[in-house]
Structure 1
Amino acid sequence: MKMSDVAKIANVSPATVSRVLSNPDLVSKKTRDKVLEVINQVNYQPHSVARQFRTRETKTILAVVPDITSAFFSEVLRGIEHVAIKEGYQVILGDTENNLERESDYVNLLLQKQVDGMVLLTARLEKERLEELSEHFPIVLACEYIDGLNVPTVSIDNISAARKATEHLIQLGHTKIAHICGPMNVILGRDRLRGFRQAMMSNDLDVDPSYIQEGDLTIESSESGYNQMMKLLALETPPTGVFVYNDEMAMGAIKAVKDSGLRVPEDVAIVGFDNLKMSTVIEPHLSSIDQPKYNIGQKAMNLLLQMINKEKINKHSFVMKDNLIIRDSCGGKSESFPHSHESFKKNISV
């Protein structure tokens, strides 16, 4: 069924049918209702490719994530998609698997004009290239960011959030605090480490280099957290508190503590980051920095739509509010804390 067939049945011109579909306010209610009735009767489906040639729009946007297996990004994507669907857009998903070359390949879809705009949930490309692309195509960054980038960005203050998580452990009385950090080639890893260091320094606590273990995003996050926690527990003086880059790594860290015959939080207090739904399933329930994941997705998509519609955006950096959610994994001051490192080491050898 073609548009001309609908026009013939409704006794109107094909141009009128096109206006009903694209600009219904330009058509009288009587004519509009008649055309829509025919469209419903014959189940006419507009040809998306033909429409693209006419309007130079695909009504499709691209969302690029660094790791589709991460539970964190599923909630951000849901926020993106809900706004997109409401506004008549489809979302194509691209998973880079933390591979810079794959990220670059997805960006090429913009150059080929196969999508109207892009939300990047990963920011590993060179700043100069992104800025050049943004001069010609609508692009919004979310979650990850690049310092000084002149492109709309939606994120939390990762430095402040990491400082908050570390200071909570300090307030509980811990002085031997470690950090299982993210990869240093990712800005989130660098900023959360920076926040950790700031909290330690502002409380006159030394940062032992052996207390900083770099996680690996190229393997399962929980496995990486497990491995790095085992390294920390093997130290001559293990930490009593650990701030972990994300919740998935933190869950691996908790398992490592348990497998070593120790307890969380009595022997090792742990705080994660992201506040995934799984945080309330694992035992003990995981204390974590909550990111407004769904709202980040919504805000990013709304900004992208403004850019597609050539509306003015007054600022480029949108910082969302985070919260520290305190649960059982970090514990509080109790009779068993602080404990002696001699007792701690004895437990590890069991």
Structure 2
Amino acid sequence: MRERPKIKDIAVKAGVSVATVSRALADSSLVTAETRQRIRELARELNYRPNVSARNLRTRKSMAVLLVVRDVGNPFYLDVLKGVEATAREAGYSVLMGNTENDPARETEYFNMLRDGHADGMILMTGKLPPGSGSRAGGWSHQPVVVALEMIEGSSLPHVQIDNVGAARAAVEHLISLGHRRIAHISGPVPEPMSLNRREGYRLAMGEADLDIPEGYEVRGNFLLESGQEACRRLFALPEPPTALFVANDEMAYGAVHELRRLGCDVPRDVSIVGFDDLYLSKAFYPPLTTISQPRAEIGRTAMDLLLKILSGEDVDPGDAIVLPTALNIRSSTAPPHGYSGRET
């Protein structure tokens, strides 16, 4: 079997010392850019792969980061993972994905992996810290953790987010512009900040249009399809059900559409629906879902960039949140109310 190439093989071929090769592969500024490039090309030519275990013993780094999510089965996280991984690989890191399924014990387990050195940093997308850590991040404020999308109220951890209030307001304003007046909201789990912010956007849009929110028009879900079905069932058992729904994520919106079909309602002729996330299935869903699009891959890249800055010792101000843009994608799940003439009655 052919012997695995070593750093000294690159050094001999490049005509430099082993130390220079090691520094070049670590992207050290002590080696000129030209020499670094030449050594990288030789490493690729020789199919050199670093001995990760030996490097980890020397540096006391795992060269791995954790991406921790609520539900690995949710396709929303796939594009985020792609963005994280692309940026991580360029810096020599691998990515481990943690799936909590909202289990506090599993959440604690992943934080312990970070604390015990099995990962060098974490991108957290659950909106929760381990039980007993305190709402203000407590003992975790010094750890290399970046919070992505899911806000943790009072936390001093750096974060990447979108304007949930503004995006939700735009979604409801679209329904109002079509002529809807009876608009209900299926929220995510309350009192989590992301759910509260999307609900606030709904309330702002309704208030600015001088529209009442009848009792029972705000129903709490948990971001899963089944909760969208259950919430829709409750809404359409009301004496005066809504003509439109703003749903806090696409997966619950799918559940709401399924329930409406079971009830004999047509979307959008009888009921219009707007979701949030723009999952790749939303274009192929019937009818194609009007929804808020988030830059998922960019969220992953930005969060990983921020984590790399922390890992390299750069000062990061946690008070300055990085806010990425959203867009309302209008498709076939929204239309004017049935029989609407365009005139106020």
- State TM-score, norm by structure 1: 0.84
8 Å contact 1:174–1:338 — kept in the other structure?
no
Is 1:212 aligned to residue 215 of structure 2? no
Q: Give the drift of 1:47.
A: 2.3
- One-letter amino acid of the counterpart of residue 254, structure 2: M
1:285 maps onto 2:292 in alignment: no
Identify if the C-alpha distance between structure 1 residues 171 and 151 changes in structure 2 by more than 3 Å, giving closer, same or farther. same
Judging changes above 3 Å, is the alpha-carbon distance between structure 1 residues 32 and 119 closer, same or farther for their aligned structure 2 residues?
closer
Are residue 134 (structure 1) and residue 138 (structure 2) matched? no
Partner AA of 2:58 in structure 1: R
| Aligned pairs for 1:247-326 within 5 A | 247-314=250-317, 316-326=320-330
Q: What's 2:119 paired with?
A: 115
Q: For residue 184 of structure 1, what is the aligned residue in structure 2?
A: 190
Report the Cα offset of residue 228 of structure 1.
1.5
Unaligned regions of 5+ residues in structure 1, if any?
A: 340-350
Amino acid at match of 1:271: V
- Indicate whether 1:226 and 2:233 are aligned: no
Partners of 2:288 and 2:43 lie apart in 1 by 57
Task: Give 1:328-343 correspondences, 5 Å limit.
Answer: 328-332=332-336, 336-337=339-340
1:268 to partner: Cα distance = 0.6
- For 2:172, what is the secondary structure of its paired residue? helix
Please say if residues 3 and 17 of structure 1, whose CA atoms lie closer than 8 Å, have aligned partners that are also in contact.
no
Q: 1:154 aligns with which of 155, 160, 180?
A: 160
- Is the Cα contact below 8 Å between 1:127 and 1:149 reproduced in 2? no
Contact 1:6 1:35 in 2 (8 A): no
Q: Which structure has greater helix proportion? A: 1
Residues 205-214 or 72-81, more deviating: 205-214
1:56–1:316 distance in 2 versus 1, CA, 3 Å: farther
Match of 1:58 among 53, 59, 62: 62
Match of 1:80 in 2: 84
Q: Structure 2: which amino acid aligns with 1:297?
A: G
Q: Distance in 2 between matches of 1:165 and 1:39?
A: 49
CA shift at 1:35, angstroms? 11
Distance 1:285 1:6, change over 3 A: same
**2-structure distance, mates of 1:262, 1:32:** 63
Give the residue type in structure 2 aligned to 1:270: I
Deviations 1:202-241 (A, max 9, x none): 2222212311221134xxx222212211221222211111
Tell me if structure 1 keeps the 8 A contact 2:180–2:243. Answer: yes
User: Once the 2 structures are TM-superposed, how far is the Cα of residue 261 of structure 1 from its aligned partner?
Assistant: 1.4
Deviations 1:55-114 (A, max 9, x none): 222221111011111111111111111111122111011011122321121011121112
Counterpart-to-counterpart distance in 1, 2:118 and 2:329 = 41
How many angstroms apart in 2 are the aligned matches of 1:149 and 1:5? 44
Deviation at 1:271, TM superposition (A): 0.5
2:26 corresponds, among 22, 32, 36, to 22
Q: What stretches of structure 2 of length at least 5 have no aligned partner?
A: none
Distance in 2 separating the partners of 1:147 and 1:38: 47
Segment of structure 1 superposing worse, 106-115 or 46-55: 46-55
- TM-score normalized with structure 2 length: 0.85
Aligned-partner SS, 1:92: strand
The aligned residue for residue 348 of structure 1 is none
Maintained 8 Å contact 1:266/1:337: no
How many correspondences in the alignment?
Answer: 333
CA distance in 1, matches of 2:290, 2:119: 39
Q: Which moved more, 1:191-200 or 1:174-183?
A: 191-200
Cα distance, 1:154 vs. partner?
Answer: 0.6
Identical amino acids, percent of aligned pairs: 40
Counterpart in the other structure of 2:172: 166
Q: Whole-Å Cα distance in 1 between the matches of residues 119 and 190 of structure 2?
A: 32
CA distance in 2, matches of 1:182, 1:87: 35
1:242-285: per-residue Cα shift (whole Å, max 9, x none)?
A: 11111111111112112211111111111100111111111111
Structure 1 residues 257, 30: closer, same or farther in 2, change over 3 A?
A: closer
Q: Give the CA deviation at 1:21.
A: 4.0
CA contact (8 A) 1:216 1:224 kept: yes
Structure 2 CA distance for aligned equivalents of residues 39 and 2 of structure 1 = 13
| Worse-matched range after superposition: 309-318 or 158-167 | 309-318
3-state SS, counterpart of residue 209 of structure 1: coil
Partner in structure 1 of residue 181 of structure 2: 175
More moved, 277-286 vs 310-319: 310-319
CA contact (8 A) 1:7 1:13 kept: no
AA at the equivalent of 1:268:
V
SS in 1 for 2:212: coil
Question: How far apart are residue 198 of structure 1 and its match?
Answer: 1.9
Letter aligned with residue 73 of structure 1: Y
**Which segment is superposed worse, 162-171 or 273-282?**
162-171
Amino acid at match of 2:137: L
Contact 1:269-1:329 at 8 Å conserved across structures = yes
